[in-house]
């Protein structure tokens, strides 16, 4: 993304919110109990612990007490058409701003152009669009998927200095975060001749699908798979189930690295079932609030606002983090 096209205003979320709330009393430009800002949230909906935490955090941030009316529109069975219909309805209603977390990266140009014609700003939550035309939205808030998956690959290299056989469990095809996670992993692993790539397959973020997929992978490779990179925690936990049912020990015979950092994954890391967990922090409602208020005030924001995340590489690190894990 082009991160130089826009500049972030140097105000904290609390101060910026106060400025917007004060402005609304004189010009209607912000949210208050008398004149709330209406936001349409085109969301993904049920998809796992990370998504639930992220969308609940957004809903908990943009409340009536904060001066907002948030209209939450989760996708129907992850269907993009239902998202486009919701997006169109929000334009027709004349909402003040739209938050978009897309089920699929492509196919949004027409909708975003319509929002632009209606002078309704759009902010992307987590997932990007393809092609990434930063003229069609204000900003995207998300952790850096490339950096997160690069951290997994670098851990794999250090854990297996002599190389290993590995398999990748991917998220749904066509989703921007999947492409970005592949990019970070591949940039590191493609030049590593000691590693043997056994392939990749989507398991659609699902524990059950991942278990089924990896059962087949183990059988077709005579259980000789040393490493799994699962692009989310649920798929990693499914791979662990498949390893156990094959009579192997996850964390010993097969090391499993995942992305998200949910409580279930950290507990599995603490128990030794998973080997590495890269956090993909879902709790960025306050950063979204600051960006929304800046946009509503007519200010400029960066085209990409990075959400800081961390990694967990040991049972001890997981145990330390677990008491404060909120998702």
The pLDDT of residue 35: 82
HSE (CB half, 13 Å, CA atoms) of 146? 7
- pLDDT per position as a tens digit, 315-327: 999 999 999 998 9
Mean pLDDT, range 169-190, rounded to an integer = 95
Mean pLDDT, range 230-241, rounded to an integer = 98
Architecture of domain 145-280: 3-Layer(aba) Sandwich (3.40)
* pLDDT bracket for residue 227 (50, 70, 90): very high
Between CA 176 and CA 105 the distance in angstroms is: 5
Helices 207-220 + 233-245 axis angle, to 10:
50
In this prediction the pTM is 0.86
Domain span(s) for CATH 3.40.50.2300 in the chain: 13-141+282-307, 145-280
**DSSP string of 170-220, one letter each residue:** E--TT-HHHHHHHHHHHHHHTT-TTSEEEEEEE-TT-HHHHHHHHHHHHHH
The pLDDT of residue 24: 38
pLDDT at 2 over 80: no
Per residue, the 3-state secondary structure of 81-136, as one string, reads HHHHHHHHHHHHHCCCEEEECCCCCCCCHHHHHHHHHCCCCEEEECCCCCCCCCCC
255 vs 46 pLDDT, higher one? 255
Average pLDDT, the chain: 90
Mean pLDDT, range 259-273, rounded to an integer = 98
- pLDDT per position as a tens digit, 281-311: 999 999 999 999 999 999 999 999 999 999 9
pLDDT at 12 over 90: no
- pLDDT per position as a tens digit, 68-79: 999 999 999 999
- pLDDT per position as a tens digit, 79-133: 999 999 999 999 999 999 999 999 999 999 999 999 999 999 999 999 999 999 9
Q: Judge contact between 138 and 301, C-beta under 8 A.
A: yes
The pLDDT of residue 191: 83
What CATH fold (topology level) applies to the domain 13-141+282-307?
A: Rossmann fold (3.40.50)
pLDDT at 7 over 50: no
C-alpha dihedral, 222 to 228 to 233 to 234, nearest 10° = -20
Conformation bin of residue 243: beta by default, left when phi > 0, alpha when psi is -120 to 50: alpha
- pLDDT per position as a tens digit, 27-61: 334 444 468 999 999 999 998 899 999 999 999 99
The pLDDT of residue 102: 95
Q: Dmax over Cα atoms in the chain, in whole Å?
A: 71
Question: What stretches of 196-305 show up as alpha helix (H) in DSSP?
Answer: 207-220, 233-245, 263-271, 285-296
């Amino acid at each position: 993304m082009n991160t130089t096209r826009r500049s972030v205003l140097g105000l904290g979320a609390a101060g910026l919110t106060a400025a917007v709330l004060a402005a609304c009393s004189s010009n209607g430009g912000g949210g208050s109990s008398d004149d709330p800002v209406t936001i349409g949230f085109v969301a993904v909906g049920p998809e796992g612990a990370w998504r639930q935490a992220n969308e609940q955090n957004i809903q908990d941030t943009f409340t009536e007490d904060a001066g907002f009316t948030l209209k939450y529109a989760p996708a129907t069975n992850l269907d993009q058409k239902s998202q486009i219909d919701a997006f169109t309805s929000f334009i027709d209603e004349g909402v003040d701003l739209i938050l978009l977390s897309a089920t699929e990266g492509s196919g949004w140009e027409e909708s975003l152009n319509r929002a632009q014609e209606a002078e309704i700003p759009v902010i992307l939550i987590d997932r990007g669009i393809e092609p990434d035309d930063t003229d069609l939205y204000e900003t995207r808030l998300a952790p850096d998927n490339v950096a997160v998956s690069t951290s997994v690959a670098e851990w794999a290299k250090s854990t297996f200095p002599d190389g290993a056989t590995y398999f990748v469990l991917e998220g749904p095809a066509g989703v921007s975060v999947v492409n970005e996670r592949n990019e970070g992993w591949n940039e590191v692993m493609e030049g590593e001749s000691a590693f043997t790539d056994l392939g990749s397959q989507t398991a659609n973020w699902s524990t059950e699908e991942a278990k089924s997929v990896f059962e087949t992978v183990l059988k077709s490779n005579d259980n000789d798979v040393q490493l799994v990179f699962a692009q989310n925690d649920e798929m990693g936990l499914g791979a662990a189930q498949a390893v156990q049912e094959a009579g192997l020990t996850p964390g010993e015979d097969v090391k499993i690295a995942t992305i998200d950092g949910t409580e279930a994954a950290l507990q599995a890391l603490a128990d030794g079932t998973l080997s590495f967990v890269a956090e993909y922090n879902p709790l960025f409602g306050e950063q979204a609030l600051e960006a929304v208020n800046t946009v509503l005030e007519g200010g400029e924001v960066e085209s990409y606002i990075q959400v800081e995340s961390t990694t967990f590489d040991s049972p001890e690190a997981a145990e330390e983090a677990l008491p404060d894990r909120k998702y």
